[in-house]
Amino acid sequence: MNAMVWILSLLVTLSSALAPTAVARSAWVGGVVIKDEFIPLALQFSENGRSAELVLPTRGGMRLGGTVSRTDELIQLDLQSPEGFEIQIESVVESGFLSGQLRMPERALEGSIALIEHHKIADARLGAVAGRYDLEAGGSVWLSKSRVGDLALLTGSLGSADAPKRIVYPLSETEFLVGGVSSGPSPNGVRLEVPRGLKIGEIIFVQPDGTRRRAIASDGSSDRTRLDGLGIPLEVAGAAITQEDVWVKSGEVRLRGTLYKPQGEGPFPAAIIVHGSAPSSRSQLGFHVRLAIDSGLAVLAYDKRGCGESSGEFEPFTVARSASIFSELADDATAAARWLRSRPEIDPKRVGLIGGSQAGWIMPLAGEREPWIAFIAATAGCAVSSGEEAHHGELVRTLGIAGADEALRSYAGPTGFDPHPVLAKLEIPTLWMFGDRDEVIPTRASLESLSELILAGRRNYAVHVFPNTNHNMVNSDTGRPAYLVPLVTRWLDHIGVTHTDSSAHRANP
């Protein structure tokens, strides 16, 4: 412990008599912004307010405990993990919000912290509010059950279930506060009004200027029970869906998952949902879970390593580290596939992978390691290197999609992970689905790469481009998600996954 930390600890001890009572027995949730990265966190104060515990769910669930003191109007926390990692917080509390500075002395990092006092909501109530809602002015909103540490709340996304997530903080049984995509809660944030009861037909978004926007439950009346906040009705195509929470071991990491399956003996065809780049839990995979279920598959969705209830550490994407990151995540996907394949109600010859964005790199890697995987379906995946993808994203900001596509041809920078060697040999039937208005991945370059592979003999690849559709597979003109189920269902039937004859041919037309 360095001298500064020792002095701060001494000051905390000497001023313990001044420990704040205003925060006693309270729980707070929000996050800190460090180097433009928003890191969610939860803070729980003890009964007398003189000690506290901080939880960092996207950092492997790290927990730090320590003392609390008060100097004038400031509340100071000196926290330490069992491994010795230290965090210091200097903050003020006003009108139900805690704000200030968070410091990590050992890493010479600091950032602005913003938390809101947590209002505990019954799990059944959160489940009732969760689901998809269609805005009267166009577009859709997805609300999903989630957690930050031990605190239950909601996350929301606009346009598609896989769009960037915002924490939705409960203020009461009927009012929530919508946080920012990359920032904590703000007193000037959008409020969400929800009627009482377990059947939610509509919700109201209240803008800071008082403007009210109505959103209708996507099933018209919200009278169909939803599963796990994913917006998945219990009745899909006339078949009842059951769910089972499970654990999957991947090396030293334990992945927490949920298995969704039709009732009956099976054996059922099935899919594992593979994550994109975000630090997401299984409750945030609703778009792809729903796609798989509606396409006639049992589904295993799991919390990404270091997220939700899964152990391990989440590592954000970088080009330099992309090969290592993707390899580790492919290990998790193959571990999940092997686990699912071993279940007696699952047909081991009809287990595949479905996912979007970053999953387009990870799933072929998993298929290379486990060639028995029956199929891969990727939405907005990338068939060029991670270096090209990252550079294209930077170009789009100034040149637009068409200009970035053209400028990318002369890129000579770091490649990072290059999928071409894997894709050139992969024999698993793979469906690639793109949007032609995707600003995140270079669609044109990916199409050109896949075209070359198909012409070279990789007939197991099928490609479909949705017009006017963005990275989240949402129509940019209407705000409506692209309806992928008919395409995916026909393709799965063609390759023999959902066909009664599971030995049907595996090549694409």
429: closest CA among 351, 359, 357? 351
Residue 22 confidence (pLDDT): 63
Rounded to whole angstroms, the Cα distance separating 269 from 102 reads 48
Which of 229-243, 246-260, 336-350 is predicted least confidently? 229-243
The first and second tokens of residue 394, run together, are 């930077």
Rounded to whole angstroms, the Cα distance separating 166 from 479 reads 18
Residue 198 confidence (pLDDT): 52
pLDDT at 270 over 80: yes
Counting Cα atoms < 13 Å in the Cβ hemisphere of 113 gives 28
> What number does CATH give the domain 3-117?
2.40.128.120
What is the tens place of the pLDDT at every residue in 312-344?
Answer: 888 888 899 999 999 999 999 999 999 999 999
Residue 232 confidence (pLDDT): 42
CB burial of 346-364 (b: ≥16 within 10 Å; e: otherwise) equals bbbebbbbbbbbbbbbbbb
* Model pTM above 0.85: no
Q: Where in the chain is the domain with CATH 3.40.50.1820?
A: 239-494
CATH 2.60.40 fits 123-217, yes or no: no
Q: What is the mean pLDDT of residues 235-241?
A: 49
What is the tens place of the pLDDT at every residue in 8-51?
Answer: 443 333 333 334 456 788 899 999 999 888 889 999 999 888 89
Q: Are 323 and 295 spatial neighbours (Cβ–Cβ below 8 Å)?
A: no
Options 3.40.50.720, 3.40.50.1820, 3.40.30.10, 3.40.50.12160; which CATH number does 239-494 get? 3.40.50.1820
Residue 218 confidence (pLDDT): 65
Residue 87 confidence (pLDDT): 92
pLDDT band at 473 (very low <50, low <70, confident <90, very high): confident
Please give the backbone phi and psi of residue 181, each rounded to the nearest 5 degrees, phi first. -65, -40
Q: Where in the chain is the domain with CATH 2.40.128.120?
A: 3-117
